[in-house]
Amino acid sequence: MKKMKAIVCTKYGPPEVLQLKEVDKPAPGKKEICIKIRATTVTSSDCLIRKFDMPVWHPMGLMMGFAMGFGKPRNPIFGMVAAGEVESIGSDVQRFRIADQVIAYTVLSPTKTRMGTYAEYICIPEDWIVWPKPINTTYEEAAAIPYPAQLAMYFLKKGDFQSRKNVLIVGASGSIGTTAVQIVRHYGAKVTGVCSTANLELVRSLGADTVIDYTKEDYSKRGEQYDLILDAVPTQVADRKSLKSQAMNSLTTEGKYISIDDGLAKVSSDDLGLLLDLTKSDEFKPVIDRVYPLEQMVEAHRYVEAGHKKGNVVITI
């Protein structure tokens, strides 16, 4: 049996539970492709899964337990995103050929979850969320697209964003926020981004019409009214009750406040396809904060868990 390098997690806990090991390399089934992974990402969701410090009676804890395993991870290799090349294919594969450059998202629903991208290779059904990689992106950039694309699109659509004219995005410099700013701009609404001093220029460069430094100004005191407020502040640093109270003072009569904590996002292959189309036409650019090699996964998790990253944290393999 051939071997590969992977980050293995045999128990929930702090970043140090993640260990670099050699494991068996997977072989594709009849309708699967095997991807040689060049890049993946560490997301806030990855950190929440790795910690799993929610009580099992909590709806989110119960859902996570069924999806990932209660006492320990059912699949010890985490990671939801893969950018790489098709290394081998099953006998019945129709969509892809060996050497195709692809992007894959390994989570379809809480009950259809592969994870497994913290590794050199992964096998995934060809009819899951797998798309050709845009030729104008690096593998690192490609890996930074699927996760925030899925979440930003889901929560923006929940807020009926295409009918809104004046949108405020709190946490505009994170992975979901930087994606949401560009999506809303593309659809023609006025965009206001809220972030810290260090990230003002970044958010402005992504197309925000107005940028507010939350360390110096309370946007709700401006007197501006928004018909959609997306709260994309990372869960681990969010005071959601306070953020919602602040937002309520700045909504129009028909306005809506949406938080990234408002339920589990439903993934959509079409949503990823849309963002990839925007990427190809240079209307969307994934934001990368830091890049770590696979061997520094623990450090990457520590950084993401701190809750202050700009855009995405990418792992190269």
Mean pLDDT of 185-191: 96
pLDDT reported for residue 107: 86
Which of 64-68, 106-110, 116-120, 190-194 is predicted least confidently? 64-68
Which of 98-112, 201-215, 230-244, 278-292 is predicted least confidently? 230-244
- What gap in Å lies between CA 191 and CA 180, rounded to an integer? 10
- What gap in Å lies between CA 37 and CA 101, rounded to an integer? 10
pLDDT digits (tens, 9 = 90+) for 127-159: 999 999 999 999 999 999 999 999 999 999 999
pLDDT digits (tens, 9 = 90+) for 247-267: 998 999 999 999 998 877 888
Triad 267, 268, 271: Cα angle to 5°: 120
pLDDT reported for residue 51: 86
Taking a C-beta distance cutoff of 8 angstroms, is the pair 210, 232 a contact? Answer: no
Mean pLDDT of 2-13: 95
Taking a C-beta distance cutoff of 8 angstroms, is the pair 280, 134 a contact? Answer: yes
- What gap in Å lies between CA 125 and CA 107, rounded to an integer? 12
Mean pLDDT of 21-45: 97
**For the chain, how many residues are written?**
317
Angle between helices 44-51 and 297-305 in degrees, nearest 10: 100
Instruction: Write down the CATH superfamily of domain 3-145+286-316.
Output: Medium-chain alcohol dehydrogenases, catalytic domain (3.90.180.10)
126 pLDDT above the threshold of 60? yes
Q: Tokens 């259809």 appear where?
A: 112
73 pLDDT above the threshold of 90? no
pLDDT reported for residue 53: 67
The partner residues of 8 in beta bridges, in order of sequence, read 19
Q: Tokens 């994870």 appear where?
A: 115
**CA-wise closest residue to 250 among 269, 277, 230, 236:** 230
- What gap in Å lies between CA 101 and CA 124, rounded to an integer? 14
C-alpha to C-alpha distances, 89 to 33, 121, 125, 253, nearest whole angstrom? 4, 13, 10, 54
Mean pLDDT of 199-207: 97
Angle between helices 44-51 and 59-68 in degrees, nearest 10: 90
Tokens of 29: 């089934």
Residue 245 pLDDT grade (very low, low, confident, very high; cuts 50, 70, 90): confident
Which of 28-32, 185-189, 260-264 is predicted least confidently? 260-264
Amino acid at 161: F
Taking a C-beta distance cutoff of 8 angstroms, is the pair 5, 20 a contact? Answer: yes
Residue 227 pLDDT grade (very low, low, confident, very high; cuts 50, 70, 90): very high
Quote the mean pLDDT of the chain.
Answer: 92
Amino acid at 312: N
pLDDT reported for residue 178: 98
Which of 63-77, 173-187, 198-212 is predicted least confidently? 63-77
Which of 51-55, 111-115, 249-253 is predicted least confidently? 51-55
**CA-wise closest residue to 43 among 234, 264, 247, 267:** 234
- The domain ranges of the chain are 3-145+286-316, 151-259
pLDDT reported for residue 109: 75
CATH architecture for the domain at 151-259: 3-Layer(aba) Sandwich (3.40)
pLDDT digits (tens, 9 = 90+) for 158-171: 999 999 999 999 99
Mean pLDDT of 229-256: 88
- What gap in Å lies between CA 315 and CA 317, rounded to an integer? 7
pTM of the full predicted structure?
A: 0.92
Residue 46 pLDDT grade (very low, low, confident, very high; cuts 50, 70, 90): very high
C-alpha to C-alpha distances, 271 to 138, 260, 311, nearest whole angstrom? 20, 17, 19
Taking a C-beta distance cutoff of 8 angstroms, is the pair 290, 303 a contact? Answer: yes
